Amino acid sequence: MTPILFVHGGGDDAYRFDLQIVQRLREALGSEPSIVYPRIAGLERIERAPTTAELSDWTDMGISFATS
């Protein structure tokens, strides 16, 4: 099954706050599909270029994402 890539919001402590959402998703979905929840430093600083670079690492692993 294809894993879910959950990308946290931007700004200070967004990763910590969104972790609660990820935990609820894991409880609701069970062990499948797996949820990948990386800390994206570019989002913490709200910088587009570093964020895109960090997310492209996940694309290399076959996990796709969309940006707006």
Q: Residues near 10 by Cβ (< 8 Å), separated by ≥ 6?
A: 43, 44, 46
pTM of this structure: 0.68
How does pLDDT run across 47-63, given as a tens digit for each residue?
778 777 777 777 666 66
How does pLDDT run across 7-38, given as a tens digit for each residue?
888 888 889 989 999 999 999 999 888 888 88
- The C-alpha atoms of residue 15 and residue 47 are separated, in whole angstroms, by 15
What was the pLDDT predicted at 5?
84
Query: Confidence band (pLDDT; 50, 70, 90) for 43?
Result: confident
- Whether residue 24 contacts residue 53, with contact meaning beta carbons closer than 8 Å, is answered with no
